[in-house]
Structure 1
């Protein structure tokens, strides 16, 4: 494990952030963007959308004001002739950040999924010292579920990042054509869609993000909402019927954000917050009984320990560590 001895292009004095959504996720992207404004200092934002209706657009403009520009990129995306497969074109908007004219003035761009709720100023993230084209968080689930190595053409031991929160160092991204490469890979639909293509294109070219900027509600033991700089609802969504992993305090924030909007009813039910701790306790037994390597690894996984390790890497501005299962204390 070593840091790349590359000169840092510290141009974070000119950052922006953006969300991207189709008509279905547009309300949630608006609320996520509003939350960024509420917890952050002044920073320019964008919400790139396809297909949003007039009423939703009116609500979004009222919530976000001039701080976040809502842009219809439907024609732009259609003109790319990009084949989204079974997903919507909106899923791939982030892969065109190097071609969107609105982003030309910005050297540091933060992208976040619509199901990410920020608790800390996004400006703190944009000012991270960056030595690589990309800043991303390790996908901690990959340390007990390494199936991605079977279908992604990456080096042995290559780590995987989650693409829900990303910081693009745009001068390097443009210089190396990394998003162009990602688009080429995504169009083949053989690398786990956009996230897999991003991992292949940026292999060896991404720096470890502090894990608290992308705390996921996945299959591992869960870091608390209060410790999260940004909570990523990768399992149940705050607006879904099965809100697995959504804490009551997070749902309360969404209710406040959606207050006095047509979207308030999406968050009216009682929270059904549930940790997976009980079933995780059975992993060691069931993993042994059915010889399931994933469950065996997961039984040894300690999210708090792994997060501390990656937080240390982030504090030292390290490139993503190779052989991650050893870093996480999980032997092959």
Structure 2
């Protein structure tokens, strides 16, 4: 194939990133270079937090040549421009991949909106040259170097992830796995931080398969796409150290967290920020200063702070047995 001719999969028109990749191939004498990307999915409601997520990864990368992608769910042109302006303000390029919620798309259950299922469609928009993909929820922040994730040996697996907190409770995790159709004795991951061997995912059609699984079994899924992904990748994922997805409940038991995942309904940018994440509130406020999203962060009042502390102490005292089981499991993971 002549170097000047660019071919993209799925009949897509080649974009600048695809063309840049062809130039890199030519410059390397035809040797294909592995390309990596970080992606978050967000509608307008979580857009400020999602941009802070990408920025936190950029700040914690040293040598990796990584692209930053945002799957923008039903975003308007001025909202896309705000994302791009945020990137320029912080010296990074964020590429928005437009995503429109399909009228006949998958239906979420419980407290999740249809937007939460967008990541099950992201295979349709990821540039063809991407071979390694780090997916992050929009309520995630990198707080330590993450270069290691972009050189990790997948050991033949298509995915690397961290156990969900539920794995500390065998009765509960076993019941969930049986209900959704997973094999006996497996492990169940949290889907807030997912490192994909994207080449393997593409070649094996793992995302179309996940969409089919969701259509067939969504009535069984309490955790929506997280359940569906666990069924698809059952037995085909590499277990990462909990520091790569330190969920809120795991924080006391994880040494040197690299990625915080603010699980639960209360987030650091809200006035009722959980006590354990109170210091992260300032990080969001600093990153969103001088943007149209400065008001996204709600400063807690003195009453809020006292209430948060008392709630934290109450949970520690009232959940000693639960905490002991989580400590026993995740301290040895």
Given the two structures, how large is their TM-score scaled by the length of structure 2? 0.75
**Runs of at least 5 residues in structure 2 that lack an aligned partner in the other structure:** 1-31
CA positional deviation for 1:98? 3.0
Q: What is the distance in 2 between the residues matched to 1:168 and 1:119?
A: 21
Q: What is the distance in 1 between the residues matched to 2:33 and 2:237?
A: 17
Q: What is the distance in 1 between the residues matched to 2:142 and 2:158?
A: 23
Aligned counterpart, 2:20 = none
Name the SS for the 1:46 alignment partner. Answer: strand
Q: What is the distance in 2 between the residues matched to 1:105 and 1:48?
A: 17
Determine if the alignment matches structure 1 residue 73 to structure 2 residue 104: no
Q: What is the distance in 2 between the residues matched to 1:105 and 1:197?
A: 26
**Which whole-Å deviations, capped at 9, do the CAs of 1:158-201 have from their partners, x for residues lacking one?**
21100000011122222332222211112231223100011111
CA positional deviation for 1:104? 1.5
Larger Rg: 2
Task: Tell me, yes or no, if the aligned pair for 1:26 and 1:52 is still in contact at 8 Å.
Answer: no
Of 284, 288, 294, which aligns to 1:264?
A: 294
Determine if the alignment matches structure 1 residue 43 to structure 2 residue 66: yes
Aligned counterpart, 1:126 = 150
Aligned counterpart, 1:52 = 75
Aligned counterpart, 2:28 = none
Which structure is higher in RCO with an 8 Å CA cutoff and minimum separation 6?
1
Select the structure that is richer in helix: 2
Given the two structures, how large is their TM-score scaled by the length of structure 1? 0.75
Of 177, 202, 210, which aligns to 1:174?
A: 202
Aligned counterpart, 1:84 = 107
Task: Tell me, yes or no, if the aligned pair for 1:116 and 1:232 is still in contact at 8 Å.
Answer: yes
Task: Tell me, yes or no, if the aligned pair for 1:34 and 1:63 is still in contact at 8 Å.
Answer: no
CA positional deviation for 1:53? 4.0
Q: What is the distance in 2 between the residues matched to 1:227 and 1:167?
A: 19
Aligned counterpart, 2:190 = 162
Paired positions, count: 281
Of 240, 247, 254, which aligns to 2:277?
A: 247
Q: Which runs of 4+ in 1 moved over 6 A?
A: none
Aligned counterpart, 2:230 = 199
Query: What value does the CA root-mean-square deviation take over the aligned residues?
Result: 2.7
